[in-house]
Structure 1
Amino acid sequence: MQESIYKTEKYRYTAIRLIKDKRGIFGIPQINISADFECEITKDKGLYYETDGEIVFYIKHFILKDACLISIEVEQDENYELKHVLCEGKYIKFDHINSCWKFQIEISGLTGPTRTLFAHTILREDGITLRVEENDIGRCAGKYSKDTYPQIQIEAASHYSFAAREVLRRMGVARYLHNNSLGYLLLLGFETCNELHPDFPPHWHLIFRWPYFCGSQAPHIYIDDEGRMTHNVMYIDGISGVCRKYQVDEWCKFVDMYGANVLAFRVVEDGGMELTTPGGNVYKISSYNKEYGVKVYCSNSYLGHVVLKNDTDKGKLQVFWNDEERSEDSYAESVEYDPYTGAIVKTEIMHEHKGLI
């Protein structure tokens, strides 16, 4: 018997983002949906809310195949115009008819958690993947608010990620992992714009991702109000409930899938971090400072510092590495991205940029 095109074993919750052309809390307008299959707008906590910049709602529907469309009408609000509609990282075309904004979304083949709220800029090189969460105070939700917006911690997390990238390059550990098919190192910050992913309190991640995920070591390195690292809680991906807290000065070791040591790091007393490889030098990443960013050392010798500038309204990230030893190795990396999705539009790297900062 031919398998039915419909799968009805479970539901999916698909998020929709309505981007307003001006910021403010105006109240959620009347939203109506229509489809030739069972679906509904869910108003459970975290699935139906307004922020300064957006209105977010989720549609509960079966997981279906083929051409499955939902028609959506949003009553116009006199306080603002609808600037964009986003669903699953895509811009949805909408029309303005009879005081309503009208559009359709296709839910055919959508599985797994909805990715609509992701605003991630992802940079990859052999052995290293770095993700910048493009947080914005106009989209903060969940445990984050305008009154307690963690701007310093957001800046610190991004600086630590890029400083760690520089250290991992110099160590050669990323290239080693890539060349031997042992996985990669994943550098992440935290996000403030997703009710269903509180990502709280502020932290950043230095993850050793194994080739088949399960067994990956996933540290969460927490950051205080001044941007200093405080401690690390490491989880093991694919093994629920397994974690360990590492205090200041306690080394956290990464091992590969064959049990060999790959990398070790620890948070130190001044809020910075030290990293080393078996038989290698000890590198240090200083705690974040708003003036000079993050300094990098090798065996107590100063190597240089990383400074970031990120304009989330315009979608432009600038990364500056000032190399103390070799000015020709200094660089300015510019990344232009979509401010609502984080998708990269353009990248450029310029060397010998001293004097630009």
Structure 2
Amino acid sequence: MIRLTICGIVSCLAIAARAGPSGQAPVTFKIVKESAGMTTAPPAVRVLTAAEQWTLREGRTWSGQNGREIFFTLVPASADAALPEVTVSAAGVQPVRVIVGKSDVPFTRQGDQVRFTLVRDTRNAMLLNQVLHDSEGGLPIHLYHNWLIRQDGPFHGKPVPRVEARAVPNYLVAAREALKLMGRTGPKDEKDFEGSITLMGFEVACARGHHDYPPHVHVMLWVPGYVGGEVPHFYLDAAGRIVRNSFGILGDEGGKFPDRGAVIERKRKRAGEYGPGKPCGLYDLKERLAVELTITEDGGLQMARPGALPYLLIADSAGADRGVLVRQGDKTLVRACVDDDAEKGLTVVTVEHLAGQKVVRTVRQEMRYDPFTGLAPQAAKGKP
């Protein structure tokens, strides 16, 4: 269920990342190095069998290496292309795993050459994400695990977005908590709009050409079939403050919903750049408001629902990378803090409920995952 949800989201946001030049789904694989370091010669891949049926997809985010991984993407000529045997040169490093998509495969090594056979796993080997569920009925959060050694695409050569990478999940959990307080937005709630408010982060790897830059927070509205969905991108500055919103509408590139043409045209009149003080409403296909989002002058995000007082997401006194507060008026209700150690494969979420300046209840979640696949051995568990 998690994989289908994520694939649906990625297919809408980054269609180019789904398929190679042949139109077929690519296969990305990686060699995991025993310890941090770069190869002493540029890594190269050689297709030993069925070579005429596979094409190397070159270029950043498709093929390359970082401190712990060598990765390549091959594109089949057809959906039933024979699975090839390949070798990868990995001079000067010790390979400990070969992962095709999300599947570990056996390999042999002779000198600098690592040899293995592809499997038909088209999952994106360089995209590490999970869904953080909420046992208290809140919205699921689509988290990207940003190990900063994977910084690629538009992030390559830029300052490491350490603060922003820590701040984004804090905003997402704070948004989940604010929406719970508003009510009628959760996955099992009776809603007064059609669709799902969706919370999602960003990825520094920009895997397979998904140029997810600069760092940002998504608070989106998915409608049935996605077409006509509304997608804000709340971009952060280097201090972790929200400074602008690039707002777009998902179109019908596949032509599956011709009856939505007029609706999409009306929606797109609202698309564009939103700065502080300009409300951005998210509306369903029948033009019913799900939530209104407004950036504040001090770098926060105000969230409002019809008939309810607004809530403010704002950095705590130590900065948004240390925690994000949920406030209503002059009252601080919640503090959200996420520590995602992508090298260890452990996410720890701490939500503190406050009355005045006092913490009256703390909820913690832990989510473990393989740092090279993003796959979890078990679902996240709430610990009141």
Structure 1 and Structure 2 fold alike (TM over 0.5): yes
Q: Please list the CA deviations of residues 102-158 of structure 1 after superposition, one character each: whole Å capped at 9, or x if unmatched.
A: 1111338x5xxx622210021245672311111112221112246611010111111
2:203 aligned with 1:186, yes or no?
no
1:269 paired residue among 272, 297, 301: 297
Aligned residues of 1:158 and 1:189 also touching (Cα < 8 A): yes
In structure 1, what is the equivalent of residue 309 of structure 2? 281
Q: Please list the CA deviations of residues 276-309 of structure 1 after superposition, one character each: whole Å capped at 9, or x if unmatched.
A: 1101011011136168511111233111211222
| Letter of the 1:297 counterpart | R
Structure ranking higher on relative contact order (CA contacts 8 Å, 6+ apart): 2
1:170 Cα deviation after fit: 1.2
1:25 paired residue among 17, 32, 38: 38
Aligned length: 338
The residue correspondences of 1:145-156 to structure 2 (distance < 5 A) are: 145=156, 148-156=159-167
In structure 1, what is the equivalent of residue 76 of structure 2? 61
Flag structure 2 segments of 5+ consecutive residues without an equivalent. 1-20, 254-264
Aligned residues of 1:204 and 1:221 also touching (Cα < 8 A): yes
Larger mean Cα displacement after TM superposition, 82-91 or 208-217:
82-91
| SS of the residue 2:185 aligns to | helix
Richer in helix (by share): 2
1:98 Cα deviation after fit: 5.9
| Letter of the 2:365 counterpart | E
Q: Please list the CA deviations of residues 199-240 of structure 1 after superposition, one character each: whole Å capped at 9, or x if unmatched.
A: 111111101111210011110001001100001111111257
Aligned residues of 1:270 and 1:287 also touching (Cα < 8 A): no
> CA separation of 1:122/1:291 partners in 2, compared to 1, >3 Å: closer, same or farther?
closer
Q: CA RMSD in A?
A: 2.6
The CA distance in 1 between the partners of 2:321 and 2:146, in whole Å, is 21
Flag structure 1 segments of 5+ consecutive residues without an equivalent. 1-7, 352-357
The CA distance in 1 between the partners of 2:24 and 2:340, in whole Å, is 38
The CA distance in 2 between the partners of 1:175 and 1:98, in whole Å, is 55
The residue correspondences of 1:1-357 to structure 2 (distance < 5 A) are: 10-26=23-39, 27-36=41-50, 38-44=53-59, 46-65=61-80, 68-77=82-91, 79-97=92-110, 100-107=113-120, 115-124=124-133, 128-145=139-156, 148-175=159-186, 178-180=189-191, 182-194=194-206, 196-238=209-251, 242=268, 243-287=271-315, 289=319, 292-325=322-355, 329-346=361-378, 347-351=380-384
Richer in strand (by share): 1
- Percent of aligned positions with the same letter in both sequences? 21
| SS of the residue 1:199 aligns to | coil
In structure 2, what is the equivalent of residue 5 of structure 1? none
Provide TM-score, normalisation by structure 1. Answer: 0.86
Aligned residues of 1:317 and 1:335 also touching (Cα < 8 A): yes
| SS of the residue 1:319 aligns to | strand
Provide TM-score, normalisation by structure 2. Answer: 0.80
